[in-house]
């Protein structure tokens, strides 16, 4: 196996491998271009972002600055939005579903280092895949650690450190992040009513 294959399979790998360093340099060049584009260059920014990522859906917007290691290991679905200063260490695959919102200053980290200092000092690393489902809202300053799966229809409260899997249809927060409660029909009724009021007010004002 190549070091890149080892990295993507979750095995120990040499992060200083020449192929990996080249991939990282190529990504950094595109990120520099993306992060320095003006706001009125939206179409070109989106095109550059699609070149960075491994796959993306129909609508995509990330507020610069955005940082990642390789880019090509990140796959996002339709209607993806991330606020300022998103950091993704994509040494393993990061899969993000449809209709996902990510707040500012968030980190998604697949990278890990050996606990034993002698092995760690050799420069060997490992990585674990991260998955985020559909219809997820991740608040600001959230950290998602290696190997975590976040289900669909989930809200992660700001400042959380997600160290283990989060199931579907819940609100979770804290350090470590834990499920606070399920999202209920009462939640849906409340927000649908608020939405109805909004539409009514807009129509009346017009």
Residue 113 annotated to the active site = yes
Helix then strand then coil, % of the chain, to nearest 5: 30, 30, 40
Distance CA 132, CA 148 (A): 8
**Cα distances (Å, whole numbers) of residue 23 to 57, 64, 98:** 23, 21, 27
Task: Say how far apart CA 77 and CA 14 lie, in whole Å.
Answer: 31
Q: Token digits for 11? A: 């095995």
**CA dihedral angle for residue 43, residue 44, residue 49, residue 55, rounded to 10 degrees:** 60
Residue 98 CB neighbour total at 10 angstroms: 17
Q: What is d(CA 64, CA 74) in angstroms, rounded to the nearest whole number? A: 17
Catalytic residue numbers read 113
């Amino acid at each position: 196996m190549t070091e890149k294959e080892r990295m993507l399979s979750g095995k120990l790998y040499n992060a200083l491998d020449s192929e990996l360093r080249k991939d990282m340099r190529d990504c950094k060049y595109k990120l520099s271009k993306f992060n320095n584009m003006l706001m009125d260059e939206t179409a070109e920014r989106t095109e550059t972002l699609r070149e960075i990522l491994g796959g993306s859906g129909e609508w995509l917007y990330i507020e610069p600055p955005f940082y990642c290691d390789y880019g090509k290991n990140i796959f996002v679905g339709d209607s993806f939005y991330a606020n300022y200063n998103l950091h993704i260490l994509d040494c393993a695959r990061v899969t993000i579903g449809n209709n996902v919102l990510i707040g500012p200053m968030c980190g998604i980290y697949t990278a890990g280092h050996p606990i034993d200092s002698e092995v760690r000092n050799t420069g060997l690393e490992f990585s674990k895949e991260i998955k985020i489902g559909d219809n997820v809202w991740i608040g600001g300053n959230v950290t998602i650690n290696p190997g975590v799966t976040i289900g669909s229809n989930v809200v992660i409260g700001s400042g959380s450190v997600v160290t283990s899997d989060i199931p579907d249809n819940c609100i979770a927060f804290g350090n470590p992040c834990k499920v606070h409660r399920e999202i209920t029909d009462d939640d849906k009724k409340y927000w649908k009513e608020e939405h109805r009021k909004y539409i009514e007010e807009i129509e009346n004002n017009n």
